[in-house]
């Protein structure tokens, strides 16, 4: 299995630190609003990497954080007249709903920055003791030039750098030893959340959070660190500087970064009116379509979002789902008989397509080519499966397509959906049961429909229903 490593700018053979186990950290969102489709790309991409690793038999310890203390969260709280804690908790829950809709698996651990402050204070103290950090009027800075490898991830020359860091101006800024030094701890401001520390009341800088959470839940050295390419500098560069200076060992073996997402060939921004949240998209499309769209391009390539491309993704996904639905139907009607030579030959072709799929995924997770292999399987199924097929053939080809889709996080086999006509029949039966004062049966029908995602509403005009 080969992974493109941002650190070496080359594809490298994957070799885990501990045999059979993968330690993977992915930078999560800052929770001050609903996540946008740019946030969704790394979630989908690295969830797929994890799924493939697990498919290959690895035990994956997958950690992705929520940044729940940040300037944007505080700003939002002030605007709404509430607390930063209330804002972050609200949007963590909303984020989890969207992740579920995108079929992103629960992380092994979803640490919150605010719950790991003690670890941050400890790492900052270690950096001070080792001479990599210093305190000035309640602010603690990292001595960027002291870390010899600074710039090795972003390939930036330290002498050419400007202080392009995501830190607000804080008291003590003028006391920096070097303009490139970045903040590890900042003193509190009125109305902001704060914690007690050896340097006074304050809160951590952004970069230290991930270094500490990765260390606590995965160890000093990890296999894969991942995120959007916008995080390469300064965030991931600073993580390396902090972690390797504090822990004395290499931080991550492989650095993976997904490319940017554009909207109609333009950068997504609120000012251009082309800013879409995942929730916005869910009003028009099943979120499986968004996931399928994201996997239609290589994760390192920039991807362009448009209505036309989403429609193409929708149609492509429907081809797969329809084929599996047809196979499911045939599974119930085909005879249990020995497979024909033609069927055995077709299954041999399917095996070759699975190998082609795996080869694509093992070449730096080329999901676009993996999806092409799935389409070839679907085409073969459509050409060879019929009511005359053996049940064993139908079952085998369906299971393979469903399994390959599952590795991509694509749900190919839909649960049986209830038809509108069936809903109306059940409503009629419920109405009759109520007239007959058979309220037990009436309640059973209501609950049966609710279990299938149908909500009944009794109105003056009669019973109305809607899908949940």
Q: 149-175: per-residue pLDDT in tens?
A: 999 999 999 887 754 444 434 444 668
**Count of domains in the chain?**
3
Mean pLDDT (the chain) is 93
Q: Does 373 share its domain with 424?
A: no
Q: Which long-range contacts (CB under 8 A, 24 or more apart) does 402-405 make?
A: 402/324, 404/354, 404/357, 404/370, 404/373, 404/374, 404/377, 405/320, 405/374
Length of the chain: 468
Has residue 268 been placed in a domain?
A: no
pLDDT tens digits for range 232-243? 999 999 999 999
Residue 327 near residue 381 (C-beta atoms within 8 A) = yes
Q: Does 38 share its domain with 91?
A: yes
Q: Does 460 share its domain with 353?
A: no
Give pLDDT, residue 464. 84
Total Cβ atoms within 10 A of residue 38: 22
Has residue 270 been placed in a domain?
A: no
Residue 38 near residue 228 (C-beta atoms within 8 A) = yes
Q: Does 459 share its domain with 344?
A: no
Q: Which long-range contacts (CB under 8 A, 24 or more apart) does 377-383 make?
A: 377/350, 377/353, 377/401, 377/404, 378/319, 378/320, 378/323, 380/346, 380/349, 380/350, 380/353, 381/323, 381/326, 381/327, 382/323, 382/326
Q: Does 214 share its domain with 326?
A: no
DSSP, residue by residue, 407-459: HTT---SPPPPPPHHHHHHHHHHHHHHHHTT-HHHHHHHHHHHHHTTEEEEEE
pLDDT tens digits for range 352-409? 999 999 999 999 999 999 999 999 999 999 999 999 999 999 999 999 999 999 999 9
Q: Does 310 share its domain with 388?
A: yes
Q: Does 40 share its domain with 170?
A: yes
Answer whether residue 119 shows pLDDT above 90: yes
Give pLDDT, residue 453. 74
The whole-angstrom separation of Cα 296 and Cα 277 is: 20
pLDDT category of residue 98 using cuts at 50, 70 and 90: very high
Q: 363 vs 453, which has greater pLDDT? A: 363
Has residue 279 been placed in a domain?
A: no
Give pLDDT, residue 163. 43
Q: Does 213 share its domain with 342?
A: no
Q: Does 356 share its domain with 424?
A: no
Has residue 373 been placed in a domain?
A: yes
DSSP, collapsed to helix, strand or coil, labels residue 400 as: helix
Give pLDDT, residue 173. 62
Q: What is the CATH number of the domain that holds 90?
A: 3.40.50.620
Helix (H) or strand (E) holding 285: none
Residue 385 near residue 327 (C-beta atoms within 8 A) = yes
Q: Does 430 share its domain with 395?
A: no
Q: Does 426 share its domain with 397?
A: no
Has residue 42 been placed in a domain?
A: yes
Has residue 292 been placed in a domain?
A: no
Q: Among 258, 290, 322, which residue terminates a domain?
A: 258
> Which of these ranges, 323-327, 358-362, 419-423, 437-441, has the smallest mean pLDDT?
419-423
Has residue 412 been placed in a domain?
A: no
Q: Could you report how far apart the first and last alpha carbons of the chain are, in Å?
A: 42
Q: What is the CATH number of the domain that holds 324?
A: 1.20.120.640
Q: Does 83 share its domain with 138?
A: yes
Has residue 364 been placed in a domain?
A: yes
Domain range for 349 is 306-407
Q: What percent of the chain shows pLDDT beyond 70?
A: 96
């Amino acid at each position: 299995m080969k992974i493109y490593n941002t650190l070496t700018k080359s594809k490298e053979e994957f070799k885990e630190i501990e045999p059979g186990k993968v330690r993977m950290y992915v930078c999560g969102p800052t929770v001050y609003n609903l996540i946008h489709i740019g946030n969704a790309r790394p979630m989908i991409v690295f969830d797929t990497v994890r799924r493939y690793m697990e498919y290959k038999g690895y035990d994956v310890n997958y950690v992705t954080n929520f940044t729940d203390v940040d300037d944007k969260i505080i700003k939002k709280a002030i605007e709404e007249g509430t607390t930063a804690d209330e804002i972050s908790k609200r949007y963590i829950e909303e984020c989890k709903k969207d992740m579920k809709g995108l079929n992103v698996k629960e992380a092994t651990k979803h640490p919150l920055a605010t719950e790991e402050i003690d670890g941050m204070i400890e790492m900052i103290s270690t950096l001070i003791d080792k001479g990599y950090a210093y305190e000035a009027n309640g602010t603690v800075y990292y001595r960027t030039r002291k870390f010899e490898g600074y710039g090795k991830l972003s390939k930036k020359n330290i002498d050419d750098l400007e202080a392009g860091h995501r830190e607000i101006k804080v008291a003590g800024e003028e006391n920096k030893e070097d303009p490139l030094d970045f903040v590890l701890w900042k003193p509190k401001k009125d109305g902001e959340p704060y914690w007690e520390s050896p340097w006074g009341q304050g809160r951590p800088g952004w970069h230290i959070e991930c270094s500490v959470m990765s260390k606590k839940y995965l160890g000093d050295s990890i296999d894969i660190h991942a995120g959007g390419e916008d995080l390469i500098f300064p965030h991931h560069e600073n993580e390396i500087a902090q972690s390797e200076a504090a822990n004395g060992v290499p931080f991550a073996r492989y650095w993976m970064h997904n490319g940017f997402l554009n909207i109609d060939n333009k950068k997504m921004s609120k000012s251009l009116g082309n800013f879409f949240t995942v929730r916005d998209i869910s009003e028009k499309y099943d979120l499986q379509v968004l996931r399928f769209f994201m996997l239609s391009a290589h994760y390192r390539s920039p991807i362009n979002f448009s209505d036309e491309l989403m429609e193409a993704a929708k149609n492509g996904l429907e081809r797969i789902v329809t084929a599996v639905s047809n196979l499911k139907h045939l599974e119930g009607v085909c005879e249990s008989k020995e497979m024909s030579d033609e069927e055995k030959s077709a299954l041999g072709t399917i095996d070759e397509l699975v190998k082609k799929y795996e080869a694509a995924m093992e070449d730096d997770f080329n999901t676009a080519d993996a999806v092409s292999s799935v389409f070839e399987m679907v085409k073969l199924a459509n050409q060879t499966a019929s009511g005359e097929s053996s049940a064993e053939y139908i079952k085998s080809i369906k299971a393979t397509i469903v399994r390959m889709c599952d590795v991509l996080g694509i749900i190919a086999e839909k649960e049986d959906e209830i038809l509108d006509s069936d809903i109306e029949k059940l409503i009629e039966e419920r109405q009759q049961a109520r007239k007959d004062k058979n309220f037990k049966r009436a309640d059973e029908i209501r609950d049966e429909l609710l279990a299938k995602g149908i909500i009944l509403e009794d109105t003056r005009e009669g019973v109305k229903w809607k899908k949940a």
